[in-house]
Chains A and B, each alone.
Chain A
Amino acid sequence: MGNDFDNDDLSWLRRPNDQDDDSNQDEQPDLDWLIGDQGNAPKQRDEKRLGVTGELPWLRDRDSDDQGVTSEEDLNFDWMSDPTSEPKQGEQRRLGVTGQLNWLQDPTEATEEAPQVNARKSAIEEQIEAAERAAGVNRNIETPNFDDEETSALPSWLQGAEADPEDDLTLDDAPEFNFEDLVSENPDWLPTPTATNTPVESFNFDDLDVAETPDWLRVDRASTDDDDFFNDLFGDQADEVDLFAGQSSGTGLTGLLNADDVLDESDEAALAPSGTGLTGLLNPDASTELDSDFDLFKDFGDPASEDEEPSFDDFDWSFSEDQLETPSPVQPVRSSSSMDELDDLGWLESLEAAPVTASSSKTPPKADSIDVDSFLASLGTGSGNEIIPQVDFDDLANTIDFEDLFNDDFDQLQSPQEETPLPLAPDWLANVSVGEVSASAIVRKQQDRPLEDLSDRLLALREEGLNLNPTETVENDLALANLIPDLTDALPPAPIQPGTLSITNQLKLTPEQIKNAQLLAGIASLAGDAIGVEALRESVAKPRPRLRLQLKIGRLLIAVVVLIAVILPFFGIGQIGELPPGLFPTNSPEQRVFDQIDRLQPGQLVLFAAEYGATSAGDLNTVSDVLLNHIVLRGARPVIVSTNPIGVLLASERVTRITGLTPNTDYYIGGYIAGESIGLRDFSENLRQLTSNDLQGQSTGLALNSLDDFALIVVVAERLESARNWAEQIAPITNVPITMGISYSASPLIMPYLNAGIDGVIIGYEDAFTYSVLLEGLEGVDRPTEEATASETPTVETPILATPIVETPTLATPIAETPTATPIPTLASPTAQPTTIATGESIATATVDAIIIIATEEVTPTLTPENTVIPPSPTPIPPTPTDAATETFARVNASQAVNVREGAGLGFRPVGSVQPGERVLVLEANSDQTWYRVRLANDLEGWILGTLLDFEDDSTNWDDEGQTVYISFIRQSPPTSTPAPIASAPELIPYREERWYAMTLGISVIVLIIAVVNIFNLIRRGR
């Protein structure tokens, strides 16, 4: 066995006969030395385990004669349990705090009645075994037989020869603890307490095989080097150890082990200040290394003499290194860093022997007189009279606070001194705690990392923080820093201004945040400092907004450039590009719109839907203008409706700009259609109800039954959804053609609906420009009147058009005229009496009595007989023939291109155009010399309005030729006097060309800016 412990493997702790342990036997500790001598075999013990580890079979029933315990009650460990608690019915009394000290119970008690307790026992047993297995402890030690009263004081597990390795100790086997045994039995292996400390001379590992106390534990044995460890462990002093000394003093286990009256000052000073809990056992200054734990046993010196009362004065529980070095009656704990040092049990030599009073009295000693040293020392004598301290366990139960066993105040381990707050920490921080731990303690525990461990970023932040001026003032009185007055190291906060959240760069607090700030101020004990809180309150009541304009140079620069680009063309600068053509392509969607409206007859109703709002008015007002003017020029009557109330308002404003119109006669402002698509569906079915009154609530006089009562539906929409609603809800349920005018933004998505419900569409300003060119010179027709008489000369009043070139728009121009000079066939009977049309009636109800035949080579626009009133025509005026001997030239006097038409009238289709200032050959004139047939330089012939020509020769020599048939309408009450000349109307599209040039230049500038910015970004990213 020898120097096994030198090898640091504790193999010497292993029993030599152990065969069950699968682990390395050399490494397993063997506690055979604790087994009693076979010669002095201890009395047969109860097989049940005793003690916490079940290895204190000597703690058998104290009724045993060998134990010398006076009474069973004295050894009743029920004091460890709650004295006020009574076991439940059917359960065994819980022994101990955890109820696991079943070994303390009477072994005769049935354990079947407490299944829960047994379960806990099993669980704890398993845990202990697992822990010991992990630690390499072999616990296959003989289960002591406590029933055997003849068993010696030495526990059977200490008796190596009689140990049955197959027996497993269980908690169930533990008998009830009998303290009489404790005080009366003195295991043989413990040296007899003597008055003087006799050093343990040596440890003889050979003694492990003997049943009796190993020699090294005996006082009289000479110590050897091999026994150093155990010498250190148990000391060489025959000190009696009184386990129960000092019960009256402290709380918890420390109170058990340390008594005020037995501890000397050094001991007390070495202990934790509170002396509470298990931490009281640990000295914060002591080494926390594992080796120092072994010093726990250093104070177990030789048993004291019989004459001496063991006391805890001999027991040094201190683990302070200083005390280890201090020579004292109690050998201080010597911190060691290696097992070799631990093997040195010389510290045991310093233990003063505390005599263990062997008493045959079965009365347990008083609690305050119990000496652990004495007690342990007395256990080795083998005498039954060794002192088992007679303990008044009732007193122990009252004095020991087991709750403190579990109160580990680790803060006290750290430092016995009072907590000192960190520098610069505010006072209020000390009052803030997290549970039972103060915030200052938490802060104190946190240690700054060394600078070398910080990353570069953190180092930079640290430098920046050090360079900050902590006294930097904040402009705002409501800075958060005012809420924490002592916090001087805080970074200056962002300017805070309570108020409503808005799009600004300032930090503003919501009312909820202000409340939180007030709460923080209250926590920070700012009750006396009402500046911050009051200021917060005042600021909430009186917000002080700050105006701060932040100029974004890039955005501003781009806007300025675009503005300049669109303004310059208005002053004749930067007019790049070409104007839109004066004609739409043939059969194009735009041309179809023009044709549809151009085919309208006077008096027909046109449903005009203005589906746009104020935001798109700048774009679609021009479209509405050209369409409405064309409708009015054709004599039709627009009925304006919209699912957008603003659209109705805008369209009504555009139509009122056309002078000469009478509301609810020449045009109608219909109602607002609520409900988008649902409203349109309802509108299509309840047409009369929705068109009976206008927007102002006045009666319109319309009696519409269905959508087919309209001749045309024109929709001007800014969004695709509006246009689609009309295409989906209205187009499928009516045969009336639908044409649209839409903005640029909706144009890409409206194309699929062409030819699928929509007959034509004009898009944006470009098409409006061309449409306006087409409208130039277009003169209005007579509008239908309420009454008509045959004798009256039909007077023609033409609505005023807003055209820039028409200075005298009042013309009595018939719609259909013969394009040639051929004679006109007979007219219809002049005796035909037209049918009067009452005011307010629908044209559809009118009847026609006569139709004037238009004898022309070309078919004029047909008229529906049932809705047209044709009065007798006046005497036709033959056209003026051309003088073949004289060629008359003229120049076009206009600011833009002029249409050349097929016939002498606006109703004829344009066949070409002539540029301003171009010289043309005048061929002939019509009867009233308002239209002239000309020949262009490219040999194109056509008719041009006479007012647009400046003849080179003022002298005209025209002969009337042919006749012209006129178709006109007679008003109900034609004026008797000559109508006053109508003043010039405002232009249809002011600055029409300039606006187009501005659009061209503006688009070019925008594209250029986008390209430059993107290229710049690409280059920058590429770098």
Chain B
Amino acid sequence: MEGIALIASFALTLMILSYLLGDNPLYRLAVYTLIGLTAGFITIVTVESVLIPWFESTVLTGQPINIGIGLIPVLFGVLLLFKTSPRLGQAGNLALAFLVGVGAAVALVGIVTGTLIPLTLTIGDAFTGNLLNTLIVFIGVITSLIYFQYALVRKTPQGTVERTPLMKTLGGIGFGFIITTLGALYAAAILTSLTILIERIGFWLTQLTGG
């Protein structure tokens, strides 16, 4: 069994790497296999870990209250399926609205309590530590927010609308911070990709040499 898995993983890796030669059926086969297996596994896990336990604890209990509680999400799920139809799509708006509303509320609470407040407190505490780092962080945050701010604008004699010089300057500094961040993210993404490639090569060599 391990031998089969080894051969299959080796073959699939080569098929993925064949994309260097251009789009070809081998690459597509590997991608479809990955997507199909992932989708199938997620479906099975969702059904076994979420749906079946839910039904067993609500609808299948036989108690009216539990049945009612259990049918509500089922009803919402069925309504969501109507979104696939252009004509009947409006039927799923209620369920979608409920989902979006709850998700937004949870996310909002989490953002406030888990990001905004802790970050604000952290910046406040940072003044007691490395002041330079704190100052750079503060300037970066403020100028990055200003970069996306277009409220303070004025009209030029030519009739065009532009921001004031001060806002332009601060926005430019924020743009620099943003570009630096994006560059760092891009470099990190390359590192991640390279790491994955090397891990694959190490895996092959491990299998080939027996460790």
Contacts and interface: CB of A to CB of B under 8 A. Distances in A.
A745 to B, nearest CB: 5
B201 A570 contact: yes
A884 B24 CA distance: 75
Nearest to B188: A744
Contacts of B113: 728, 732
Interface residues of A, number: 69
Interface in A710-756: 724-725, 727-729, 731-732, 743-749, 752-753, 755-756
B111 interface: yes
A559 B53 CA distance: 48
B192 interface: yes
A1006 B194 contact: yes
17 contacts: A614-B38, A616-B192, A645-B42, A646-B41, A674-B50, A677-B106, A697-B48, A745-B192, A746-B188, A752-B119, A756-B115, A756-B119, A764-B192, A995-B199, A998-B202, A999-B195, A1003-B190
B191 A744 contact: yes
A459 to B, nearest CB: 39
Interface string B82-113: 00000000000000000000110011001101
A317 interface: no
Given A678-B102, A991-B206, A1003-B194, A618 B199 contact: yes
B201 A567 contact: yes
A757 interface: yes
Nearest to A646: B38
Interface string B51-71: 001000000000000000000
Contacts of B46: 645, 672, 674
A817 to B, nearest CB: 34
B185 interface: yes
A727 B42 contact: no
Given A672-B46, A678-B102, A748-B184, A549 B192 contact: no
A555 interface: yes
Max chain A Cβ within 10 angstroms of own Cβ: one of B48, B113, B194, B205: B194
B152 interface: no
Contacts of B205: 570, 991
Given A724-B115, A728-B107, 13 more contacts: A547-B25, A559-B20, A570-B202, A613-B38, A619-B192, A621-B199, A649-B41, A674-B50, A724-B114, A744-B192, A749-B185, A1002-B197, A1006-B194
Nearest to B20: A559
Nearest to A729: B110
A978 interface: no
B114 A727 contact: yes
Nearest to A768: B195
Interface string B21-53: 111110000000010001001100110111001
A441 B95 CA distance: 63
Interface in B155-211: 181, 184-185, 188-192, 194-202, 205-206, 211
B196 A618 contact: yes
A743 B191 CA distance: 9
B164 to A, nearest CB: 29
Nearest to B110: A728
B104 to A, nearest CB: 10
A517 interface: no
Contacts of A998: 198, 201-202
A645 B41 contact: yes
7 smallest CB-CB distances across A and B, nearest first, come from A728-B114, A728-B110, A756-B118, A618-B199, A618-B196, A744-B188, A744-B191
Nearest to A552: B22
B72 interface: no
A85 B190 CA distance: 88
A566 interface: yes
A453 to B, nearest CB: 40
Interface string A755-781: 111000000110000000000000000
A681 interface: yes
Contacts of A1003: 190-191, 194
Contacts of A724: 114-115
A503 B195 contact: no
Interface in A635-663: 645-646, 648-649
A616 B195 CA distance: 9
